[in-house]
Structure 1
Amino acid sequence: MAEISSQERDYLPGMGKHYLLPLYEMVHRVSGLGAVHQEMVVVAGIRDGHRVLDVGCGTGNLLRSTGKRHPHAELTGVDPDLKMLARAERKLRRAGLTARLDRGFAQELAFPDASFDRVFSSLMLHHLDTSSKDEMLAEVRRVLRPDGLLVLADAVLHDHGREHLKDNVGDAVAKRIAAAGFTVEPTRLRKLRMFGEVGIEVARVH
């Protein structure tokens, strides 16, 4: 586990409340999110030696899927929740995988410019407010190499009558990513077994 950021921020835990953390793995299994993670890893086109960052890595499910398929990639995960990171560390160790796990915030990634080939983010963007979403995407753009790729999955919401949902309604996520300096492929929509629909965005640095 690496250094804790000196600047504290408020954040929403993965299940909304810290005491719900034990339910996290069950929700991951019953929702079918594992299949979404597998698709994200495939479309990322990872090669041996690639440096891969998972922003909001939670308990490490996407990192584990990546490492199993690409054992020669260099894996890094960032999350603000130390309890999540502790679970991720145990999970990856049991799987025989190695990853750097840092406590940190998506809006201030503690990595040099152009230091990653691929960046993942899974069901994290909707946890951020509007300005934090833009800060996160600017940071991802900064740490990606010129030929880098962002693969981001997030919930797709369809309630047009609720103002606070508009950032995730329709193609708003893809437009936000494009505005941050990416060329975005058409959204891949995938229905989960539970909890609705997920959009997978694949975006190249331009």
Structure 2
Amino acid sequence: MQDRDDETLAHQGGAVSHPHRAYIPAAGHDFLLPFYDPLNRLLGVGALHDELIAEAHLEPGHRVLDVGCGTGSLAVRIRGKYPQVEVVGLDPDPKALAIARRKAERAGVTVRFEQGYGDALRFGDAEFDRVTSSLMLHHLDLPTRRGMLREVLRVLRPGGSLHLLDFGRSEERSSRFLSRLLYGAEDLRENSDPRVAALLTDAGFEAVERVAGAATRGAQTG
């Protein structure tokens, strides 16, 4: 979900026009969207989502914002495991959101899906207990990453936490090949542990840590 004001990202090859902004779709290219969920299954993303959800330590009454929710897999999974938690999914891609809404309906869960951008959240301060994001950070250039993290910190309540899942540089060779094929090697270099940890710390997060063997990172507010 990379986005910039009033321009297309021709050098990325997968930009989609929007009335106000452009963004990179969930699968990197709009025509690949039907293959996005099967690819995630191939990469074992469901198990990684379970690790992220467990690390979030959700409790009844919590409000969760899933930034860059794409086709809604993580948001629907959270709601299914924790029916007493309110979940909001945010993504700029209306096609992905349509899939997400159908997915929630099939699962019999209620998730509020909204169209929007991670660096311009239309929520008030301290509205959420947890913010999650899965396979989205690599789409963002550096200024947009910084803007998104500042916005996430703003909407999190004191003691809340952000939980990120994304491609890193230490996963299996087959997964690394597939992720680079779709998203580009430069994006993966920007996802190295030191760079992401520094961004989280600079944004004001505390207790930044990596969990398990996947590129799953947690960061808490003060």
Give the TM-score, by structure 2 length. 0.82
2:42 counterpart of 1:30? yes
Partner residue of 1:58? 70
* Distance in 1, Cα, partners of 2:209 & 2:115: 32
2:92 counterpart of 1:80? yes
2:163 counterpart of 1:147? no
Partner residue of 2:221? 205
Q: CA deviation at 1:163?
A: 6.4
Amino acid at match of 2:102: R
SS at match of 2:118: coil
Partner residue of 1:194? none
SS at match of 1:23: helix
Partner residue of 2:143? 131
Return the match for 1:184 from 190, 196, 207. 207
1:170 to 1:145, Cα distance in 2 relative to 1, 3 A: closer
**Residue segments in structure 2 that go unaligned for 5+ positions in a row:** 1-17, 171-175, 177-184
SS at match of 1:145: strand
* Distance in 2, Cα, partners of 1:176 & 1:122: 17
* Distance in 1, Cα, partners of 2:20 & 2:200: 25
Partner residue of 1:20? 32
Q: CA deviation at 1:7?
A: 7.4
Check the 8 A contact 2:130/2:161 in 1, yes or no.
yes
SS at match of 2:28: coil
Give the TM-score, by structure 1 length. 0.88
1:10 to 1:46, Cα distance in 2 relative to 1, 3 A: same
* Distance in 2, Cα, partners of 1:157 & 1:7: 35
SS at match of 1:186: strand
Note the 1:88-103 alignment, pairs <5 A. Answer: 88-103=100-115
Check the 8 A contact 1:177/1:184 in 2, yes or no.
no
* Distance in 2, Cα, partners of 1:136 & 1:7: 20
Amino acid at match of 1:65: R
Partner residue of 1:48? 60
**Residue segments in structure 1 that go unaligned for 5+ positions in a row:** 1-5, 191-197
Deviations 1:25-83 (A, max 9, x none): 11011110001100111110111010000000011110111011100100100000000
1:7 to 1:201, Cα distance in 2 relative to 1, 3 A: farther
Check the 8 A contact 1:184/1:201 in 2, yes or no.
no
Partner residue of 2:191? 168
RMSD: 1.8
Identical aligned residues as a percent: 44
Partner residue of 1:193? none
Amino acid at match of 2:196: V
* Equivalent pairs, count: 192
Larger displacement relative to structure 2 (172-181 or 71-80): 172-181
SS at match of 1:77: strand
Q: Which structure is higher in RCO with an 8 Å CA cutoff and minimum separation 6?
A: 1
Partner residue of 1:113? 125
* Distance in 2, Cα, partners of 1:9 & 1:128: 13
